[in-house]
Amino acid sequence: MGSGLFVNAKVFTGTGEEDFATAFRIDDGIVTWVGDAADVTGGTDLGGATVLPGLLDVHSHPSMLASLAGAVSCLPPEVYSLTSLLDRLRTHPDLGRGQDRWIEGFGFDESGYPEGRKPTRHDLDSVSTTQPVFVRRCDSHSMVCNTRALQLAGITRDTPDPEGGRIGRDAAGEPDGLLVERAAYDRLLALRPPPGPDEEVARLAGLDAHFLERGIVAVADLMATLTTPDPLRLFRDAERAGLRPQAALYPMWQDLVAAGLPDLTDDDRTGRVKIAGVKLVMDGAYSDRTAWTDEAYPGSCDHGLQTASADDLRAAVAWARRNGVQVAVHAMGDRALWYVVDGLGDEQAWLAERASVRLVRGPLFSPELLDRVAAATMEFGVATHSVFFFAEYGSYARNLSPEQFAVAYPIRSFYERVPASALSSDTPATAWSDADDVFLSVRAAVLREAHDGADFNRAEAVSVAQALLLYTGRARLLAPFEGVGLIQPGFEGSFVVLDRDVFTIPPREIDRVRVQETWLRGAQVFRR
């Protein structure tokens, strides 16, 4: 922890759109004064640089990111076609090094491929027929594997679809390699040799630099039990091994059920690394046509997948209420969203300082649904993302009706009507590499432009200051981080120094902004 007076800066305090200061003081890691540089003498001269509160990524997947250390990234802009996907998988260092070595990739997104389709097992067989090969889709709701992996998992034409999942099949009824939702692909993942516990901790601790060079001082893991039944222990071990950002963990509901729904101790839900709530997945994803919708997908009678029941929702809320933590609900489709908002809207909120129920992402949010959320006695929050429409424009354009398109990712409406709203990355479950580059996300929210320049409903654009509040002062209402999100007396002296003034540069250049320095509790922890 450090102390110091910092002067001659353009300090965005995170308390409001127009709130700037030019100096601040930190004593023993805590901000003690914020004001005008003219009122003080001495101090560290920041040369007029723009300063923001340390950034909060309230919806991310650090444990998934750590678990992908052995996988090759197959995200755009590096991979843009089926052919380049297969070429990329062939770069896996374990290819040709023994039949027990798994060839793993993540992040394919067929929506932009000129071939216009997902890979099949036959495509992946061209990478290897003797080693198991699989590649996760960008949203992590599905994956495709080769014939060898299907054999190892014992999946044949006679294998029925598991409840809440689907096994892709070709015209002749043979599995085509596609496995949709965890219910279908967990049996495959369970066959991989797991990393040793030390390796798992080291991989997670190794993400410290990843976050700090992006200015991220606190991160929430919305699938914390992905690789371990005891994420708190894993993250606290990683903290001891050098992971410095705060971490708020949301175990998956089905994993809590499997563990017998243990109640939390005070120690579990306090500190810099803590259990923050439980994550319940109600449906799939639009880009995969598995989001649970009122209207059937164009050209089909398919309404997507419901992956949790009303009993699950009620039981998850009861557990969270009893334990004083949040429920985070993944509900993509309009039917899934109404189901949750109507089901919980008239109940009493149980947390005083932040949203009791977090809605994940909000790709489609009609004005009627926003009205319902705003009028509810339940305190709902929404962590949305701009990187999705930036990266996956093609699949939204194809799968959404014009009416749906008009209410997709209504970031301005969230900002205006839902106090606990935030922008976040969903890293690495997105269709873009480096999705947790905050300034890429801010640029997309400000311009409402996809990566190819396509217009994505400009009426829902926000200003730079609004977008940054959704990463700082407003985001803190969404996840139980301690003392971060504002540069205010009493808060941690955690802040970032930028290499240019994000508030005045042309919006098209916002994604070029780089974090020059990151400070945590008054100590510099990153310098470019």
Shortest CB 426 distance to Zn ion, Å: 4
Q: Is 400 in the site for Zn ion (CB under 5 A)?
A: no
Candidates 25-33, 71-79, 286-294, 420-428: pick the segment binding Zn ion (CB under 5 A): 420-428
Candidates 270-278, 316-324, 347-355, 418-426: pick the segment binding Zn ion (CB under 5 A): 418-426
**Nearest-angstrom CA–CA distance, 148 and 2:** 55
Helix (H, G, I), strand (E, B) or coil at 428: coil
C-beta of residue 51 within 8 angstroms of C-beta of residue 68: no
Q: How far apart are the first and last CA of the chain?
A: 20
**Nearest-angstrom CA–CA distance, 416 and 445:** 14
**What residues form DSSP beta bridges with 526?**
518
Residue number with CB closer to Zn ion (21 or 383)? 383
Residue 266: CB partners within 8 Å, gap ≥ 6? none
Virtual torsion, Cα 256, 259, 262, 264, nearest 10 deg = -60
Residue number with CB closer to Zn ion (64 or 487)? 64
For residue 136, the surrounding DSSP H or E stretch is: strand 133-137
Please identify which residue in 139, 208, 392, 426 interacts with Zn ion, judged by CB under 5 A: 426
Residue number with CB closer to Zn ion (387 or 444)? 387
Shortest CB 516 distance to Zn ion, Å: 29
Residue number with CB closer to Zn ion (334 or 426)? 426
Q: Please give the order of strands across the beta sheet that includes 142-145.
A: 72-73, 103-108, 133-137, 142-145, 175-180, 166-169
Shortest CB 64 distance to Zn ion, Å: 8
Residue number with CB closer to Zn ion (46 or 391)? 391
In 165-241, the DSSP E strands lie at: 166-169, 175-180, 216-221
Candidates 38-46, 425-433, 443-451, 478-486: pick the segment binding Zn ion (CB under 5 A): 425-433
Candidates 22-30, 225-233, 422-430, 508-516: pick the segment binding Zn ion (CB under 5 A): 422-430
Shortest CB 59 distance to Zn ion, Å: 6
C-beta of residue 461 within 8 angstroms of C-beta of residue 415: no
Residue number with CB closer to Zn ion (52 or 387)? 387
Q: Which two tokens stand for residue 412?
A: 């301005």
**What residues form DSSP beta bridges with 33?**
25
Please, which of residues 215-244 interact with Zn ion by CB under 5 A? 222
Please, which of residues 253-312 interact with Zn ion by CB under 5 A? none
Q: Is 383 in the site for Zn ion (CB under 5 A)?
A: no
Shortest CB 385 distance to Zn ion, Å: 9
Shortest CB 20 distance to Zn ion, Å: 33
Binding footprint of Zn ion, residue count (CB under 5 A): 3
Residue number with CB closer to Zn ion (71 or 465)? 71
**What residues form DSSP beta bridges with 145?**
134
Residue number with CB closer to Zn ion (51 or 387)? 387
Shortest CB 362 distance to Zn ion, Å: 12
Residue number with CB closer to Zn ion (332 or 429)? 429
Shortest CB 408 distance to Zn ion, Å: 17
Residue number with CB closer to Zn ion (86 or 207)? 207
Candidates 235-243, 396-404, 424-432, 447-455: pick the segment binding Zn ion (CB under 5 A): 424-432
Shortest CB 61 distance to Zn ion, Å: 6
Question: Which residue number has the CB closest to Zn ion?
Answer: 426
Please give the single-letter amino acid code of residue 17.
E
Cis amide leading into 77 (omega within 30): yes
Candidates 23-31, 90-98, 214-222, 280-288: pick the segment binding Zn ion (CB under 5 A): 214-222
Residue 323: CB partners within 8 Å, gap ≥ 6? 263, 264, 269
**Nearest-angstrom CA–CA distance, 304 and 328:** 20
Q: Which two tokens stand for residue 325?
A: 């933590």
Shortest CB 75 distance to Zn ion, Å: 15
Shortest CB 481 distance to Zn ion, Å: 18
Candidates 80-88, 247-255, 315-323, 427-435: pick the segment binding Zn ion (CB under 5 A): 427-435
**Element counts in the chain: helices (H) and strands (E):** 17, 25
Pairing of strands 495-498, 421-423: unpaired
Q: Is 58 in the site for Zn ion (CB under 5 A)?
A: no
Residue 9: CB partners within 8 Å, gap ≥ 6? 22, 23, 37, 46, 48, 49, 50, 51, 497
Distance of CA 378 to the CA centre of its chain: 23
Shortest CB 479 distance to Zn ion, Å: 13
Shortest CB 410 distance to Zn ion, Å: 19
- Cα–Cα separations (whole angstroms), residue 425 to 224, 411, 452: 16, 14, 19
Name which of 484, 515, 483, 464 is nearest 210 in CA terms: 515
For residue 31, the surrounding DSSP H or E stretch is: strand 30-35
Please identify which residue in 58, 144, 212, 429 interacts with Zn ion, judged by CB under 5 A: 429
Binding residues (CB under 5 A) for Zn ion: these are 222, 426, 429
